[in-house]
Amino acid sequence: TVICTDKTGTLKKNEMTVQRIWLPSRELEVTGVGYAPEGEFRHGDERISPGDHPDLRHLLETGLRCNRASVTQDETGWYAVGDPTEAALVVAARKGGLDSDGAPQLVNEFSFDSRRKRMTVIQEHSAGLIAHVKGAPEVVLERCTRLLKGGEERDLSDADREAAISTYERLAGEGLRTLALARRVLPRDAELGEDQVERDLTLLGLVGIIDPPRREVPEAVQLAYSAGIRVLMITGDASATALAVAKKIGLRARRAVTSRELAAMDDEELRAALEEEAIFSRVAPEHKMRIVTLLQGMGDVVAMTGDGVNDAPALKKADVGTAMGLRGTDVAKGASDMILLDDNFATIIGAVEEGRRQYDNIQKFVRYLLSSNTAEIVAIFLNIVLGGPLILLPVQILWINLVTDGMTAVALGVEPAERGIMERRPRPPRAPLLDHGSILRILLLGGYMGLGTLWLFRHYLAAGIEDALPLAQTAAFTGLVLIEKVNVFNFRSLRQPLTRIGFFSNPLLLIAWVVSAGLQACAVYVPFLQRAMHTVPLRGVDWALMVLVAAPILVVGEVYKWSLRRRERREAVPAHTRDIR
Q: What is the pLDDT of residues 199-256, one digit of tens each?
A: 999 999 999 998 888 889 999 999 999 999 999 999 888 888 888 888 888 998 888 9
State percent of the chain over pLDDT 70.
97
Question: Length of the chain in residues, anyone?
Answer: 581
Cβ 302 vs Cβ 274: under 8 Å:
no
Q: Under DSSP, is residue 135 helix (H, G, I), strand (E, B) or coil?
A: strand
| Dihedral, 347, 353, 358, 364 alpha carbons, nearest 10 | -170
Q: How far is CA 294 from the centre of its chain?
A: 21
User: What is the pLDDT at residue 576?
Assistant: 44
Pairwise CA distance, residues 373 & 377, whole Å:
6
CATH tag, 17-210: 3.40.1110.10
The residues annotated with a catalytic role in the active site are 6
DSSP 80-129: EES-HHHHHHHHHHHHTT--STTPPPEEEEE---TTT-EEEEEEEETTEE
CATH superfamily of this structure's domain 217-343: HAD superfamily/HAD-like (3.40.50.1000)
What separation in angstroms does the CA of 479 have from each of 58, 154, 379, 404, 444? 87, 96, 12, 12, 18
Half-sphere exposure in the Cβ direction for 400 (13 Å, CA)? 24
Contacts 24+ apart (CB under 8 A), 505-511: 505/415, 505/416, 506/411, 506/414, 506/415, 506/416, 508/411, 508/414, 509/408, 509/411, 509/412, 509/414, 509/415, 511/411
Query: In terms of CATH, what superfamily is 354-570?
Result: Calcium-transporting ATPase, transmembrane domain (1.20.1110.10)
Amino acid letter for position 74: D
> Residue 360: which residues within 8 A CB-CB, separation 6 or more?
415, 417, 418, 421, 494
Residue 526: DSSP 8-state? S
Alpha helices (H) along 420-539: 436-461, 468-487, 498-501, 507-525, 527-533
> What is the Cα–Cα distance from 275 to 11, expressed in whole angstroms?
21
Note the pLDDT of residue 9. 65
Reduce the secondary structure of 168-215 to three states and give it as a string: HHHHHHCCCEEEEEEEEEECCCCCCCHHHHCCCEEEEEEEEEECCECC
483 and 550 in contact (C-beta within 8 Å)?
Answer: yes
The pairing of strands 201-210 and 17-22 is: antiparallel
| Whole-angstrom distance, CA of residue 424 vs CA of residue 421 | 6
Residue numbers in the chain where pLDDT is lower than 50 = 572-581
**Could you tell me if residue 132 is left (phi over 0), alpha (psi between -120 and 50 degrees) or otherwise beta?**
beta
Type of residue numbered 477:
F
Asked if residues 29 and 46 have their Cβ atoms less than 8 Å apart, the reply is no
CA dist 143 and 198 (Å) reads 7
DSSP state of 234: B
* 34 dihedral zone (left: phi>0; alpha: psi -120 to 50; beta): left
Task: Report how far Cα 219 is from the mean position of its chain's Cα atoms.
Answer: 12
d(CA 189, CA 97): 32
Instruction: Outline which parts of the chain fall under CATH 3.40.50.1000.
Output: 217-343
Q: Nearest CA to 323 among 346, 310, 304?
A: 304
CATH 3.40.1110.10 domain span(s) along the chain: 17-210
Q: What is the model's pTM?
A: 0.79
**β-bridge partners, 181:** 134, 205
Residues 6+ apart with CB under 8 A from 385: none
